[in-house]
A and B are shown apart, each in its own frame.
Chain A
């Protein structure tokens, strides 16, 4: 990606994100958020984050790999336990990355 399209990408994402932040603060008293929308939005973080996480673990090199040689899957599942127990972003990253390095160092080719 060249420099100008990178900046354009940031601007488009940033403007959209600003509108999402501003919309209902601005519209207060004019339009209420419909109840169905409120109920739908509740599921956005769980669905979106899972959709980013799962394939990154099962497809580390672009194709499906459920073998024990898929170190990212093993390290990721360990990270999942840390995430589940602590909800701590930093701790999850540290444990997951360390485990990936150890697996690579011990069994990597």
Chain B
């Protein structure tokens, strides 16, 4: 087997400590909002993006309309465009058909590990194999853990209030996303506006709050950066 593929797979192993419990929780959560085992695994394979899946479950549990679930999931997954743009130079020699499965497997962790590896090695061919090894390892670990979670989920009684695991998991992910003052401004604005706009019909306040939070962060950064230096 290709040595760079194996190196990528090995590179992914340490991060599985984080991937496995998160995927397991996602599986448990899916069953807790009433999805069947088959639906849980269908979503896990089709969407393969934990934070957006958990957001959909939270919205399902409060009976949000379809369009709000879709928009929220897409907005949360917008970050993939950043990863996609950063990875693109390393995958450019592949055909569109070869790029598609590699793009499908893109995850926060595969991106992080691969890109930090790419900065230490210059061999062009090895990059895509390394990424493939990393991304596939994470994908397989994610799906196996989701199966285990979906099976465990059937054993968790509703009275345990497991739905509270949604905001708690978002909390941990949110703190990881707070990198500087403008990102803190974005979070505070998004959170406070979501509270104030909670009463709006069909949960539209959520989408409104996300967009205003992003705008607030962008504005905070623009004010901080001198006009001439902003590129």
Q: Give chain A's interface residues, CB within 8 Å of chain B.
A: 1, 3, 5-7, 9-14, 16-18, 20-29, 32-33, 35, 37-59, 64, 72, 75-76, 79-80, 82-84, 86-93, 96-97, 100-101, 104
A78 CB → nearest B CB, Å = 10
| A48-B88 CB under 8 A given contacts A57-B167, A89-B173, A92-B172 | no
Q: Once the chains are docked, how many angstroms separate the CA of A37 from the CA of B211? A: 13
Given A54-B194, A100-B164: A13 and B177 interface contact (C-beta under 8 Å)? no
| Secondary structure type dominating chain B contacts | helix
Number of A-B contacts (CB under 8 A): 269
Closest to A76 in B: B167
Q: Report the minimum CB–CB distance from A82 to chain B (whole Å).
A: 8
Query: Are A50 and B190 in contact, CB atoms less than 8 angstroms apart?
Result: yes
Contact indicator A55/B84 (Cβ below 8 Å): no
List B contacts of A49 (CB < 8 A).
51, 76, 170-171, 173-174, 177, 187
Query: Which residues on the B side are within 8 Å of A64 (C-beta)?
Result: 195, 198
Given contacts A9-B66, A20-B77, A96-B171, 10 further A-B contacts (CB under 8 A): A24-B81, A25-B99, A27-B88, A38-B85, A40-B218, A47-B214, A89-B169, A89-B172, A96-B165, A97-B161
Residues of B with C-beta under 8 A to A83 = 168, 171-172, 174-175
**Identity of the chain B residue whose Cβ is nearest the Cβ of A82 in the assembled complex:** B172
Number of B residues whose C-beta is below 8 Å from A?
92
Is B146 part of the binding interface, using a Cβ–Cβ cutoff of 8 Å? Answer: no
Determine how close the nearest CB of chain B comes to the CB of A63; give it in whole angstroms: 8
**8 Å CB interface, B57-94 against A:** 58, 60, 66, 69-70, 72-85, 87-89, 91-92
Nearest A residue to B169, CB-CB = A89
User: How would you classify the secondary structure of chain A's contact residues: helix, strand, loop or mixed?
Assistant: helix
Question: Which of the candidate stretches B7-15, B40-48, B118-126, B147-155 sits at the interface with the other chain?
Answer: B40-48
**A1 touching B60 by the CB < 8 A rule?**
yes
Chain B residues closer than 8 Å to A82, beta-carbon distance = 172
Give Cα distance in the complex from A75 to B93, angstroms.
51
Closest to B84 in A: A24
B170 touches A13 (CB 8 A): no
